[in-house]
Structure 1
Amino acid sequence: MIKGRILTLFIITALCVQSIFSVEVKKIGTVSAAFLNIPVGTRAISMGGAFVSVADDGSAIYWNPGSIANFSSKSLYFYHSPWLSILDFSYASAIVPLGRYGVIGLNGTVLRSGDIEITTYNNQWGTGETYSATFSSAGFAYAMRLTDRFSIGANIKYISERIYNCSASNIAIDLGTLFETPFDGIILGVSITNIGTAMRITGEDLNTFVDVAPTIEGNNDNIVAELKTDYFDLPTTMKIGISWQKILFGSNRFQVAIEGVNPNFNSQYLNVGIGFYLFNGIINLSAGNNELFLENSEKGRAVGINIDLTGLSRYGIKIGYSFQYMKHLPDVEGLSIEFLIK
């Protein structure tokens, strides 16, 4: 009874979010915490981001928190990318199965700018001082199997943005579900990420001095005032995907995935990806394409390779590399490593 109510509640939530997003309104550049849209994981990225119905490695919490219910081993995952050549982006997760009690996970994301020289109106070549910007999130995930084919999960996370002496913070939740269909190798996945209230930035750098009565002589013309910023929504996104896996010959497998993406800050688009698992899964070659049918899309093709080194260690070790082609911005490369413990 309880499991049925949970499933019904999730379906109702998905339909409500879908109805809200179905209005074709372009709100490009109008959300806060945009760093939450940066994809993680070499396999996921190399498959063009079509990963909501796959999500079977350490990056799974980001793509579909419900998918971690299928984990039977402990996972420690790290991903790093010099994002757009000028920023430093990192993601880490730890996933622990609890048997019949479900699966829990911790995850964190950090995007850093490095030192930026401070300039002012009177010192346009720099004051000799520097500042930095840091954007981060930390989350706790839980997932469980409702049936032998259906799993559901959630990730609650704390979001923080800091630019010099100004900051903003918020709480958000990600929801995800995975359904293994009766058809051989076909899996459906749905996720709704970054659900939360709007946030705005505050801090002492927004303070200024004003003269509240400039026409009156002798008054205090240095009253401290605050520049009030607007509230901006979180980048809430709904994804619905399907994947199919087929054994080709021997131990070699083929996988294809397609995913529809419906964000609240842009138009709808598709991600597609394929993967080849060779030599009993030791080598995985992936390729994909992002943002199909999206007007003025920035991302394009992506490729990657992941290698399973489990046979060389008492622990499961997987390493990966991904390359994301960008149309105007610098291309993005990423590296990952995952440790699996039975």
Structure 2
Amino acid sequence: MKKINLFAVILLTLLTVSSLFAGGGSRNGTAGATELLVPVGARGISMSGATIVGATGVEALYWNPANLVRGEYNTYAMFSHMNYIADISVDYGAVSTNIEGFGALGFTIKSIGIGDIPVTTVINPDGTGQTFRPSFVTLGVTYSRMLSDRISVGVTANLITERIELVSSTGIAFNMGIAYKNLANVDGLSFAVVLKNIGPQMKYDGSGLNVKAISTDLARPTQYYKIDAASFELPSTLELGLGYNLQINESNALMVNGVFQNSNFYGDEYKLGAEYGFNNTLFLRGGYMFMPELDSDSNVFGLTAGFGINYDLGGVGLKLDYAYRQAKFFDANHVFTITLGL
């Protein structure tokens, strides 16, 4: 009974916080730390992110921390690489383990690679010959546990670090999730709620904000003043997910998921995804995301698709996943993921 009461309190808290959200409106695109919104993992991306119910184990760390504890194996390791837009790459690594009587712990690192950018100035608009390399790294730690045989909860703390040449910013963001399996006593029907990127504002600082002062009468030596950078909010989101897993027969299974996402700095998103599995070995996936509140050009990404192969190597699980995602104005995204389970 205490576990059920705790579930009710957590769910009420999430829904209460969600009441603070509103459509982005004039604030669209004004949030910072948007690398938090870049998805990871081929399986989830191939279903357009409609996987806060279906993702379990280490692959659930980004989508829904509550499902970390539901993994098939006790220990996982995962690495993913994505060719993102405009020659940007996204590398992601994660490890997790289940501890009997305690729950599951997970650790993640995500790095956004932009490459070298030429340094330009007013005097040298074509470049000085020097370059700089921006750095966007997110480190996460997750705790998840079962409250009952149907209900799981999880929380993630992410340390955000951003550096652009001589200025940098550091912040912390929290994700909270709840997952309910076999909703209304229907086998295969699941429900989930996830609140992401909740935390204090971030702010840039560093010597790069020092500006040389100009003396009009040349009566003073060279001095510098420092620009006070404005603070920025995190791109918080609320996601509600519903999924149904149909076991057609011993060899064939079909999973269908849907997610509604509300953002404090963007329009509402609706995500649909499906996965067909054969002998728990070969998987085919597809998905689509649409935003009815915004015009068609606002949605950079289109249809998604992918496949996965699952091998059992004598007690060691090996999963190879690939995802393809259409992109307007840019080359399509290609995502590759390797997962090991022990």
Deviations 1:54-92 (A, max 9, x none): 112532111100111212421101110121151121111
Q: CA separation in 1, counterparts of 2:333 and 2:204?
A: 28
Aligned: 1:67 with 2:67? yes
Q: CA separation in 1, counterparts of 2:293 and 2:89?
A: 27
Q: Which residue of 1 aligns with 2:306?
A: 304
Q: Which residue of 2 aligns with 1:283?
A: 282
Tell me if the contact between 2:323 and 2:336 (Cα under 8 Å) persists in the aligned partners.
yes
Aligned: 1:220 with 2:213? no
Q: Which residue of 1 aligns with 2:320?
A: 319
The letter for the 2-side match of 1:81 is M
Q: Which residue of 1 aligns with 2:188?
A: 185
- The farther-off stretch of 172-181 and 21-30 is 21-30
Tell me if the contact between 1:136 and 1:161 (Cα under 8 Å) persists in the aligned partners.
yes
Tell me if the contact between 1:152 and 1:176 (Cα under 8 Å) persists in the aligned partners.
yes
Q: In structure 2, the residue corresponding to 1:274 is in which secondary structure?
A: strand
What is the CA distance between 1:7 and its match in structure 2? 2.4
What is the CA distance between 1:95 and its match in structure 2? 1.1
- Could you list the runs of 5+ residues in structure 1 that have no partner in the other structure? none
What is the CA distance between 1:4 and its match in structure 2? 4.7
Q: CA 1:137–1:99 in 2, change beyond 3 Å: closer, same or farther?
A: same
Q: Which residue of 1 aligns with 2:55?
A: 55
- The farther-off stretch of 24-33 and 245-254 is 24-33
Tell me if the contact between 2:57 and 2:69 (Cα under 8 Å) persists in the aligned partners.
no
Q: Which residue of 2 aligns with 1:272?
A: 272
Q: Which residue of 1 aligns with 2:248?
A: 248
The letter for the 2-side match of 1:172 is A
CA RMSD, aligned part only?
1.7
Q: CA 1:72–1:247 in 2, change beyond 3 Å: closer, same or farther?
A: closer
Tell me if the contact between 1:72 and 1:97 (Cα under 8 Å) persists in the aligned partners.
no
What is the CA distance between 1:281 and its match in structure 2? 1.2
Q: Which residue of 2 aligns with 1:238?
A: 238
The letter for the 2-side match of 1:192 is L
Deviations 1:189-220 (A, max 9, x none): 11111110111111111110224x74xx4532
TM-score, normalised via structure 2 length: 0.93
What is the CA distance between 1:23 and its match in structure 2? 5.0
TM-score, normalised via structure 1 length: 0.93
Alignment of 1:197-208 (within 5 A): 197-208=200-211
Q: In structure 1, the residue corresponding to 2:20 is in which secondary structure?
A: helix
Q: In structure 1, the residue corresponding to 2:68 is in which secondary structure?
A: helix
What is the CA distance between 1:154 and its match in structure 2? 0.4
Q: In structure 2, the residue corresponding to 1:100 is in which secondary structure?
A: coil
Tell me if the contact between 1:71 and 1:103 (Cα under 8 Å) persists in the aligned partners.
no
Tell me if the contact between 1:291 and 1:299 (Cα under 8 Å) persists in the aligned partners.
no
Q: Which residue of 1 aligns with 2:94?
A: 93
- The count of residues paired between Structure 1 and Structure 2 equals 336
Tell me if the contact between 1:190 and 1:241 (Cα under 8 Å) persists in the aligned partners.
yes
Q: In structure 2, the residue corresponding to 1:187 is in which secondary structure?
A: strand
Q: CA separation in 2, counterparts of 1:23 and 1:47?
A: 24
Q: Which residue of 1 aligns with 2:125?
A: 124
Tell me if the contact between 2:57 and 2:72 (Cα under 8 Å) persists in the aligned partners.
no
The letter for the 2-side match of 1:34 is T
Q: CA separation in 2, counterparts of 1:60 and 1:17?
A: 22
Fraction of identical pairs, as percent: 27
Q: In structure 1, the residue corresponding to 2:335 is in which secondary structure?
A: strand
Q: In structure 2, the residue corresponding to 1:106 is in which secondary structure?
A: strand
Q: CA separation in 2, counterparts of 1:58 and 1:105?
A: 7
